[in-house]
Amino acid sequence: MAIDELEKKLRPPEIPLKPYPSKVITLASGEKMVVREARREETGILLGTIYPLIGVSADYYDIVAARMYSEVLAWYRYRVANEFVLVGSIDGVIAGIVNSRHVTNKLGMSLHTLAIKRGLRVGAQLFAAKMEHHIDVLGEEEVYIVAESPIGFKRWMIELQLEDRSSQFPDVRSELGGVPTFVLTRKLWDAVRDVKCTGTRPVPEEDLKSANKLIMPSEYVQIPGFKR
Amino acid sequence: MAITVGIVGIGHTRFGNSSEYDLADVMAYAATDALEDAGFLERRREIDQVIVGNMASGMFCHQSAVASSLVSRMDMEPVPAELVENGPASGASAIKIGYMAVASGMADVVLVVGGEIMRKVSGWNATDIVATMLHTEAEYNMGLTLPAFGGMFTRLYMEKYGLTERDLALVAVKNHKNGAKNKYAHIQAPCTIEAISDGPEAAVVNNYIAEPLRMYSTCPVSDGAAAVLLVNMDSPKVKDFRKKPVRIAGVASATDTHCVHNRKDPLRLDAVRLAAEKAYKMAGVGPKDISFAELHDAFTILELAISEEVGFFERGTSFLAVRKGETEIDGRLPINTSGGLKSKGHPVGATGVSQAVELVRQLRGEAEEGRQVKNPRYGMSVNFGGFGNNVVALICAKD
Amino acid sequence: MIDFSMYGAKAPTIKAYKCLTCGTVYYPAPMVCGKCSARRDPVTGKGWETFDLEGSCVLLTWTRVWNLPEGYTEKYLLFGIVQFENGLRASGQLEVEEPKTGMKLNATVKESDERPGNPVNVFVFKE
């Protein structure tokens, strides 16, 4: 698409981001989840996957899904700066999606974690992959983290021992709602990486192939009787 | 002549997340199932006694006197009803007291219901509430929890007998395989040994809870209820029920020191051994006669340690039998055919009754395909209260 | 006269109990002596003596707990069961780099408000 002058003004400046090196994790059930970066042309599949959860009020799914939908769409439309999207898929079927922004080469802004497949810690694994990308791959020094779910957030606070910068609000705040924020620093991540983050690289040929074409889930345990 | 007591009806909710429901409703659901199973629902007001097993409705649900609420929820007034509390052994203790009511001659038909809703509160609160059964000054105040004691016991066992984390994972694989076929189980999803133990990602996928216990060596937090209808088998009323009763051959309990550090031998579970011995004596059988067992695997180490204390294996060797597959559904001595607490779930007040329901399902031949024990004669359950300081053993027989 | 020392800063202690009738020691306190059946009256304390449970001990077993109860914000805590020279055993937290069963530790006591209600005394076994 030819980018005219006005469009150029509206598009944010792009920082070239190192790609996320795909990995595969064998979940407790024995199923293999390939974690890889999503491609812009897969946006339709991502949006179609996220969309049904906008109607689920339990466990904060509605607000997380609504916000992630807009963030992914904005990424596609070049209206958000330096966002990345990681997808976890099992035999191609999307199990979870995480997204974040690379604000500067020192700062990351964690956006959302959406787990579609439940009971296998998909959310925890993808969140860890996201932090791995922020700090280990993109080289950021710290990541601002907030959440919609209080229980979910308390888990991160305790398990990661997040640094509390909420007292520096409003000068220090998360872009997500502009709220007081907590921070995962490189030091804190170093202390938990071995316990939180795992995966096999490179991804074996056949697993990579199966994850090449992403598929929207045909059922959601959060939505009994769901039909696409 | 001693009165013979049998189980003539069983009921069980799907364990899992029932936190949006009221505890008495969840218990009433299981109780109604048991009464329908027995063909006695319309005659429920003829029941002589209701006994409820529940550990901590006051803390989990901010409700007390749940036996009374249950009677009204079932529209069964004026049937007498009382609550029995014995920590996570409340369910089996409720059965024991119900048994005593029938055996005393004071009641011909007794409804026993065990239930718990644990998921209205957060996981941290649930851990704290469960920890209140520990000695306040010497254990609870230190920050200790039940998993902490599970971990410490496991470490001692590993160092003495050579048990490995992989052995614990093998038990989880077995129990999840069984639970996946159990329509009442909380978690109906098999797990693989590669994923939770052998594979390169296992250490993170199967993370530590209380070292050396991992997530797949500790049971989930669950809601649910189970119920059994007891009958005096010598009473003419026995003919009024749909099915032949399954006889309770033995039921007994024993206690041990409250503080875990004061146990005579830190690796022994004396209350388990004593309760089992009394139950065997009452039933006139020994460990070799038991066809299958439900053993309280709140922590996987307990399935192993309990199986040794009740005499199924020599001390320190049970995990060798697991390696050989002896405790699988088609093995020499199937253990936790229901999926155990690990896969079936553990609503603390319900578990003891849930174990009894499994004994009856197996003895009646009503278990799901793929997890039915062949021709069982005697089934045994052990319901573990506290960290082994109050234990109930139950033996049921198919005559 | 008033005992004004009660307003001073006092290091927290954890007490063990001794039956003066037969000399058996206990931690925590029973209400009836397991050996000679002498009663303990918590009001008068007659017939029983208390002493501080402290000092050197041996680590019998330990664990690192990652899932702590409500009220705790640490990533994990170390706990252990120890045995003192007088034979008494106790449970508590560990402040040890690399715990190993059989290692010699020193029992100290701290006051903690991590439990609901009033502050409580907690064993911390250190190297």
Domain boundaries, chain C: 10-52, 55-126
Q: What is the mean pLDDT of residues B272-286?
A: 98
Query: Are the CB atoms for A163 and A144 separated by under 8 Å?
Result: no
Q: What is the mean pLDDT of residues B232-247?
A: 95
A151 interaction partners in chain B (CB closer than 8 Å): 122-123
- Report pLDDT digits (tens) over C23-50: 999 999 999 999 999 999 999 999 999 9
Cβ of A192 and C68 within 8 Å? no
Cβ of A157 and C68 within 8 Å? no
- Report pLDDT digits (tens) over A182-193: 999 999 999 999
CA distance A11 to C99: 56
Q: What is the pLDDT at residue A1?
A: 59
Nearest CA to CA, how far is A15 from chain B (Å)? Answer: 32
CA distance A147 to A180: 11
CATH superfamily of B5-122+222-240: Thiolase/Chalcone synthase (3.40.47.10)
Q: Which helix (H) or strand (E) holds B228?
A: strand B224-232
The model's confidence at residue C13, banded by pLDDT at 50, 70 and 90, is very high
C70 interaction partners in chain A (CB closer than 8 Å): none
Question: What subunits make at least 3 CB pairs under 8 angstroms with C?
Answer: A, B
Return the percentage of chain B with pLDDT > 90, whole number: 99
- CB contact, 8 Å: A204 with chain B? no
Query: Are the CB atoms for B351 and B341 separated by under 8 Å?
Result: yes
Report the CATH number at residue A74.
Answer: 3.40.630.30
Q: Is the pLDDT at B345 greater than 90, yes or no?
A: yes
Residue of C nearest to A160 (CA): C75
Helix (H, G, I), strand (E, B) or coil at B8: strand
Q: What is the pLDDT at residue A134?
A: 98
Q: Is the pLDDT at C118 greater than 80, yes or no?
A: yes
CATH fold for the domain made of C55-126: OB fold (Dihydrolipoamide Acetyltransferase, E2P) (2.40.50)
CA distance B222 to B26: 12
What domain range is A73 assigned to?
20-210
How many Cβ atoms sit within 10 Å of the Cβ of residue A46?
26
- CB contact, 8 Å: A143 with chain B? no
- CB contact, 8 Å: A30 with chain B? yes
Return the percentage of chain B with pLDDT > 70, whole number: 100
- Report pLDDT digits (tens) over A163-209: 999 999 999 999 999 999 999 999 999 999 999 999 999 999 999 99
C74 interaction partners in chain A (CB closer than 8 Å): 158, 161
- CB contact, 8 Å: C13 with chain B? no
Q: Which helix (H) or strand (E) holds A84?
A: strand A83-90
Residue entry with tokens 């005992």? C3
Nearest CA to CA, how far is A160 from chain C (Å)? Answer: 7
Q: Which of residues 9-48 of C touch A (CB under 8 A)?
A: none
The model's confidence at residue C6, banded by pLDDT at 50, 70 and 90, is confident
- Report pLDDT digits (tens) over A91-120: 999 999 999 999 999 999 999 999 999 999
Total residue count of chain A as it appears in this document: 228
Chosen for mutation from A151, A158, A184, A190 (greatest number of chain C CBs closer than 10 Å) is A158
- CB contact, 8 Å: C74 with chain A? yes
- Report pLDDT digits (tens) over B137-195: 999 999 999 999 999 999 999 999 999 999 999 999 999 999 999 999 999 999 999 99
Whether A60 is in a domain gets the answer: yes
Cβ of A26 and B199 within 8 Å? yes
- Report pLDDT digits (tens) over B22-73: 999 999 999 999 999 999 999 999 999 999 999 999 999 999 999 999 999 9
Beta bridge partner(s), residue C83? C58, C89
C15 interaction partners in chain B (CB closer than 8 Å): none
- CB contact, 8 Å: C75 with chain A? yes
Whether A220 is in a domain gets the answer: no
CA distance B374 to B329: 9
Q: What is the pLDDT at residue B41?
A: 98
Q: How is residue A126 written in tokens?
A: 């993808």
> Could you tell me the pTM of the whole model?
0.96
Domains in chain B: boundaries: 5-122+222-240
C71 interaction partners in chain B (CB closer than 8 Å): 124, 128
Cβ of B261 and C90 within 8 Å? yes
Nearest CA to CA, how far is B195 from chain A (Å)? Answer: 5
Query: Are the CB atoms for B152 and C79 separated by under 8 Å?
Result: yes
Cβ of B192 and A28 within 8 Å? yes
Query: Are the CB atoms for B373 and B329 separated by under 8 Å?
Result: yes
With an 8 Å Cβ cutoff, the interface of chain A facing chain C consists of: 157-161, 191-192
Identify which of B122, B202, B206 has the shortest CB distance to residue A151: B122
Cis before B347? omega within 30: no
B207 interaction partners in chain A (CB closer than 8 Å): 195
Using CA of residue B338, residue A117, residue B125, residue C30, what is the dihedral sign? Answer: positive
Q: What is the pLDDT at residue C8?
A: 84
Identify which of B124, B187, B201 has the shortest CB distance to residue A25: B201
Cβ of A192 and C75 within 8 Å? yes
CA distance B294 to B276: 13
Residue of A nearest to B20 (CA): A58
Report how far apart, in Å, the C-alpha atoms of B206 and of each of A188, B126, B168, B215, B355 are. Answer: 21, 21, 12, 6, 26
Query: Are the CB atoms for B307 and B318 separated by under 8 Å?
Result: yes
Q: Which of residues 32-61 of C touch B (CB under 8 A)?
A: 60-61
Residue of A nearest to B190 (CA): A29
Per DSSP, the residues of chain C read ---GGGGS------EEEEETTT--EESS--SB-TTT--B--TTT-TTEEEEE--EEEEEEEEEEESSPPTT--SS-EEEEEEEETTS-EEEEEEE-SS--TT-EEEEEEEEE--SSSS-EEEEEEE-
Burial profile C51-81: b = 16 or more Cβ within 10 angstroms, e = fewer: eebbeebbbbbbbbbbbbbbebeebbbbbbb
Q: Mean pLDDT of all residues in chain A?
A: 96
CA distance C101 to B159: 9
CA distance B303 to B313: 12
Identify which of A119, A151, A196 has the shortest CB distance to residue B204: A196
The model's confidence at residue C1, banded by pLDDT at 50, 70 and 90, is confident
Q: What is the pLDDT at residue C3?
A: 86
B262 interaction partners in chain C (CB closer than 8 Å): 89
How many Cβ atoms sit within 10 Å of the Cβ of residue A44?
11
Whether A7 is in a domain gets the answer: no
Pairing of strands A182-185, A142-145: antiparallel
Query: Are the CB atoms for B389 and B256 separated by under 8 Å?
Result: yes
Look at A6-15, B290-299, C59-68 and tell me which has the smallest mean pLDDT.
A6-15
Q: Where are the alpha helices (DSSP H) in chain B?
A: 23-38, 57-61, 66-73, 90-103, 123-131, 146-161, 165-179, 193, 202-205, 270-283, 300-309, 318-323, 340-344, 351-364
A192 interaction partners in chain C (CB closer than 8 Å): 75
Residue entry with tokens 């694994």? A125
In chain A, the number of structural domains is: 1
Cβ of C75 and A157 within 8 Å? no
Identify which of C69, C115, C121 has the shortest CB distance to residue B145: C69
Q: Which residues contact C2 (CB under 8 A, 6 or more apart)?
A: none
Report how far apart, in Å, the C-alpha atoms of C63 and of each of A178, B169, B208, B214, C80 are. Answer: 41, 18, 10, 12, 6
